[in-house]
């Protein structure tokens, strides 16, 4: 219950944060109900306190989020999700159609992947990864939330370094994002963090999702 109350802090960055209570609930199924109830109660209290402390001002919060999203519709300087590969190159209805198609395909994959996975650790982290991958707009520095997935792929004995896709993803995270900060462009593309994100998704699919129910790298190593 205390964890659910602490998770109300996710409203500070809601595009990434709103999925975290569900992720934590998947990681800890026995405590999921209490955690989600306390998160909902804490959110109501937080917004109630904010409304009392800032009368007539809180209504601007969702409008500011929407205005930020609208301001990010042009040529993107830093999209870390897979939408970086196509989104800045499109315009008008094609942009919207492509976004909807990718989101629907991603949701279909998520439903399939979560049905294959039974281990709480794998299920929770799979949801976290797919949420991050499918968000239309995230920054490079937001990718820090994916560190637990890299830890799982490496394993406590560091055996993950022997897997090509895992090693490629790790080195890509260490090197490729700097291309944005030194000002590189490849035509419209400069959301370079999307490359290690895509490699991480490939590594997670091959090593965690595909092996089948209740299989995670640590279990196989054991």
> Domain limits of the chain?
1-71, 74-222
CA distance 84 to 202: 17
Give me the pLDDT at residue 7, please. Answer: 87
pTM beyond 0.95, yes or no: no
pLDDT, one tens digit for every residue, the chain (222 residues): 888 888 888 888 888 888 889 898 888 888 889 999 999 999 999 888 888 888 777 777 777 777 666 655 555 567 888 988 888 888 888 988 998 999 999 999 999 999 988 788 899 999 999 999 998 878 888 888 899 999 999 988 888 898 999 999 999 999 998 887 787 888 888 888 999 999 999 999 999 998 866 556 544 443
pLDDT score at 220: 47
Task: Confirm if 139 and 81 have CB atoms less than 8 A apart.
Answer: no
The confidence score (pLDDT) of residue 215 equals: 54
Contact 161/167 with Cβ under 8 angstroms?
yes
pLDDT value of residue 68: 64
CB burial of 71-105 (b: ≥16 within 10 Å; e: otherwise) equals: eeeeebebbbbbbbbebbeeeeeebeeebeebeee
What is the pLDDT, as a whole number, of residue 150?
93
| Rounded to 5°, angle at Cα 216 from 215 and 217 | 125
Mean pLDDT of the chain: 85
Name the CA radius of gyration of the chain, rounded: 19
């Amino acid at each position: 219950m205390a964890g659910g109350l602490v998770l109300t802090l996710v409203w500070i960055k809601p595009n990434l944060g709103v999925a975290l209570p569900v992720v934590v609930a998947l990681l800890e199924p026995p405590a999921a109900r209490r955690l989600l109830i306390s998160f909902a109660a804490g959110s109501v209290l937080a917004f109630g306190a904010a409304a009392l402390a800032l009368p007539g001002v809180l209504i601007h919060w969702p409008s500011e989020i929407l205005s930020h999203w609208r301001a990010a519709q042009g040529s993107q300087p830093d999209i870390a999700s897979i939408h970086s590969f196509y989104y800045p190159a499109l315009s008008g209805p094609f942009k919207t159609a492509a976004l909807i198609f990718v989101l629907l395909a991603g949701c279909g994959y998520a439903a399939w992947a979560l049905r294959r996975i039974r281990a709480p650790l794998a299920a929770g982290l799979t949801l976290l990864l797919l949420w991050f991958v499918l968000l239309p707009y995230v920054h490079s520095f937001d990718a820090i939330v994916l560190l637990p997935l890299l830890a799982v792929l490496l394993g406590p004995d560091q055996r993950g370094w022997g897997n090509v896709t895992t090693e490629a993803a790790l080195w890509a995270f260490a090197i490729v994002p700097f291309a944005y900060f030194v000002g590189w462009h490849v035509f419209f593309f400069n959301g370079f963090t999307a490359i290690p994100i895509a490699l991480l998704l490939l590594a997670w699919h091959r090593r965690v999702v595909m092996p089948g129910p209740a299989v995670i790298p640590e279990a196989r190593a054991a």
